[in-house]
């Protein structure tokens, strides 16, 4: 590192960027707390999956429902949003070469978020908030729970405001030219969705807090459900935008991916800003308080604009990787670029597995479940957690893990510990998650309910028989959950060892393999000297419909085929409801 240790700015010897130490410390603090929340969340996850696996059925009912709330808050709120705060600080300051807006206020906001999350943890673990993640009235938690969520949301909202203020500083001080870089544009999209989400969070939790201390009557349950889902589901759309931004970043770092068309990718992000939050209405498709027009407009017409955006990114990210690899000289056949990719780089493998599982499993099931008619056969079954574990966990969390393998050397300036384990961790985690998701999805297809402690209904006065195949699917889910737990735990071990006890990394030498440093940093992917000629040849109209990225085109065709088959199968299943004769 070439800068003096006490200077407020250092120059990164890999990227050459000016890094403000105050922002860097905020990135580190948020990332560390995110990993701690992940640890709490995955411990709860293991206990939950061993309870839903009916043959094991580990926890008693009270602890099952308690840990379901703990798992939801830690994974979907604390882990994800603390990490996103790190992404916002990183994107606004490091990627834009800008000084952070009011870094001391950043520490106050971080403290408020931390205090809020500790209050929620205390309320949940002590049994004062056994109201699940959704806390629907008339279930009532201790006021500390609601106050904790409010404090956390206020802190996060203020950090988001600081992100916007840093963008203004960067523009005024001209730390970048032209439009925002695409990765920062994605982070900006996440920040806007965060504001939408947190405003609805305030509308949800302030009344419930006032109710919990006896100042007002119980909020209307239907209004609460609508406002809560504008928080609960939109929070996951912050993840989607941040995840896609990370996809673009990891693609460039690991294989020299190019942006095929800035206008198209930015349009897709704008579609997210305008339409993705409405997907919250999925959760209300069987609620009696809304008419079909509201449901269909929100979940179909408008939300499909956001689906279109995801499909655009789902094409441009791999196609950008393919074109980048071809420009580097990997031009053999349809998939030579993929075969020669750095599969041992955990940043790259995380990226590819995140794209594939998010798109093929999460995307296809999400659109299918969001169709009002089909939703009636899937609502509140295990198909729903099957869907969102493939998006939020296999997609977002895995992308965040991949980014961490690059942040450790770049920001923490440490070698990645347990390097051999790190190289297989993405495969272990995503393989386990895929089994878990398939088990949940198929068990749900046979009617197994979500959020249910005991599907054998052992003391109920009536029988609820399930197809015996359900036991196999729940076993698959359980085995997958254990594998995914080991993958998640490996990631935490690697991150904690690297950050707190890791070997300092004084300098990254280019062109030399370094233990514990991803290949994208030691051997930055550089396009061939004749890249312009190669690019022109690849875009020659004579190549026909295959264009410059034929391999991606084939993958997209496979994706669309899978989509059609799954969608058709669900309509077919739905038609059985009216089968006569």
Partner 1 sequence: MPTPDPVDPDAEPVPLGQRLFDNVFLLLALGMGVMLVVFTGWGLWEILTLPQGTLP
* Least distance to partner 1, CB of residue 223, Å: 6
Shortest distance, CB of residue 179 to partner 1, whole angstroms?
5
For CA atoms 318, 319, 322, 323, the dihedral sign is: negative
- Of 195 and 424, which has the nearer Cβ to partner 1? 195
Distances (CA, A) of 378 to 222, 230, 429, 510, 549: 21, 21, 26, 52, 37
Of 515, 362, 339, which is closest to residue 430 (Cα–Cα)? 362
Q: List residues near partner 1 by CB under 8 A.
A: 99, 164, 167, 172-175, 179-180, 188, 192-193, 195-196, 199-200, 203, 220, 222-223, 226-227, 230, 234, 263, 266-267, 270, 273-275, 277-278, 280-281, 289-291, 294, 297-298, 302
Residue placing its CB nearer to partner 1 in the complex, 178 or 581 = 178
449 CB burial (10 A radius; 0-12, 13-18, 19+): middle
Least spacing, CB of residue 410 vs partner 1, in Å: 22
> Least separation, in Å, of the C-beta of 532 and partner 1?
22
Q: Which is nearer to partner 1, 196 or 397 (CB)?
A: 196
Nearer to partner 1, 178 or 504 (CB): 178
Measured CA to CA, the distance from residue 281 to residue 296 in angstroms comes to 9
User: Directed axis angle between helix 234-255 and helix 182-212, to 10°?
Assistant: 150
Least Å from the CB of residue 272 to partner 1:
9
Query: Cis ω on the peptide bond leading into residue 392 (within 30° of 0)?
Result: no
Neighbouring C-beta atoms of residue 215, cutoff 10 Å: 9
Residue 10 bridge partners (DSSP): 19
Q: Which is nearer to partner 1, 58 or 202 (CB)?
A: 202
Q: Least CB distance from residue 103 to partner 1, whole Å?
A: 15
Give min distance, CB of 112 to partner 1, in A. Answer: 22
> Nearer Cβ to partner 1, position 165 or 493?
165
Sign of CA dihedral 354, 520, 36, 90: negative
Closer Cβ to partner 1, 291 or 529, answer by number: 291
We find the least distance from the C-beta atom of residue 289 to partner 1, in angstroms, to be 5
**DSSP label at 504?**
B
Task: Identify the helix (H) or strand (E) that includes residue 581.
Answer: none
- Pick the closer one to partner 1 by CB: 278 or 514: 278
Structure-derived torsion over alpha carbons of residues 173, 176, 181, 186, reported in degrees to the nearest 10:
-10
CA 84 to centroid of chain Cα atoms = 9
CA end-to-end distance (rounded Å), the chain: 77
């Amino acid at each position: 590192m070439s800068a003096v240790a006490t200077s407020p700015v250092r120059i990164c010897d890999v990227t050459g960027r000016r890094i403000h130490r105050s922002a860097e410390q905020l990135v580190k603090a948020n990332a560390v707390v995110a990993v701690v929340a992940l640890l709490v969340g995955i411990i709860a996850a293991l206990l939950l999956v061993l309870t839903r696996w009916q043959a094991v059925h580990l926890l008693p009912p009270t602890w099952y429902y308690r840990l379901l709330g703990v798992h939801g808050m830690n994974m979907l709120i604390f882990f994800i949003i603390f990490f996103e705060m790190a992404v916002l600080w990183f994107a606004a300051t490091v990627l834009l070469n800008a000084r952070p807006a009011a870094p001391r206020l950043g520490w106050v906001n971080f403290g408020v978020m931390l205090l809020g999350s500790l209050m929620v943890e205390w309320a949940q673990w002590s049994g004062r908030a056994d109201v699940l993640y959704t806390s629907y009235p008339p279930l009532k938690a201790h006021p500390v729970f609601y106050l904790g969520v409010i404090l956390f949301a206020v802190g996060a909202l203020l950090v988001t405001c600081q992100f916007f203020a840093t963008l203004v500083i960067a523009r005024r001080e001209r730390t970048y030219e032209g439009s925002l870089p695409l990765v920062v544009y994605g982070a900006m999209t996440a920040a806007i969705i965060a504001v939408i989400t947190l405003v609805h969070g305030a509308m949800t939790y302030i009344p419930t807090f006032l109710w919990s201390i006896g100042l007002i009557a119980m909020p209307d349950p239907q209004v609460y459900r609508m406002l809560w889902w504008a928080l609960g589901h939109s929070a996951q759309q912050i993840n989607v935008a941040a995840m896609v931004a990370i996809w673009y970043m990891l693609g460039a770092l690991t294989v020299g991916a190019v942006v095929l068309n800035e206008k198209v990718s930015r349009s897709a992000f704008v579609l997210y800003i305008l339409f993705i939050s409405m997907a919250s209405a999925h959760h209300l498709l069987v609620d009696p308080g809304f008419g079909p027009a509201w449901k269909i407009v929100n979940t179909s017409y408008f939300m499909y604009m956001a689906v279109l955006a995801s499909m655009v990114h789902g094409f441009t990210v791999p196609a950008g990787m393919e074109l980048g690899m071809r420009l580097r000289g990997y031009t053999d056949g349809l998939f030579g670029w993929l075969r020669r990719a750095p599969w041992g780089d955990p940043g790259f493998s995380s990226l590819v597995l995140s794209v594939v599982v998010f798109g093929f499993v999460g995307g296809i099931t999400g659109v299918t479940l969001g169709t009002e008619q089909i939703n009636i056969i899937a609502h509140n079954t295990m198909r729903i957690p099957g869907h969102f574990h493939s998006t939020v966990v296999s997609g977002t969390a895995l992308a965040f893990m991949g980014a961490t393998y690059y942040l450790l050397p770049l920001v923490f300036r440490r070698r990645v510990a347990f390097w051999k384990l790190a190289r297989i961790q993405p495969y272990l985690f995503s393989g386990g998650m895929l089994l878990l998701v398939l088990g949940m999805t198929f068990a749900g297809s046979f009617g197994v309910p979500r959020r249910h402690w005991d599907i054998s209904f052992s003391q109920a006065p009536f029988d609820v028989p399930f197809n015996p195949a359900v036991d196999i699917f729940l076993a698959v889910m359980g085995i997958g959950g254990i594998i995914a737990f080991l993958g998640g735990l490996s990631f935490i071990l690697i991150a904690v060892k690297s950050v707190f006890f890791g070997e300092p990394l004084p300098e990254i030498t280019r062109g030399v393999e370094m233990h514990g440093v991803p290949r994208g940093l030691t051997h930055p992917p550089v396009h061939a000297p004749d890249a312009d000629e190669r690019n022109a040849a690849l875009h020659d109209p004579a190549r026909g419909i295959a264009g410059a990225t034929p391999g991606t085109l084939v993958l997209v065709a496979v994706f669309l085929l899978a989509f059609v088959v799954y969608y058709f199968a669900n309509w077919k299943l739905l038609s059985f409801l009216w089968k006569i004769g």
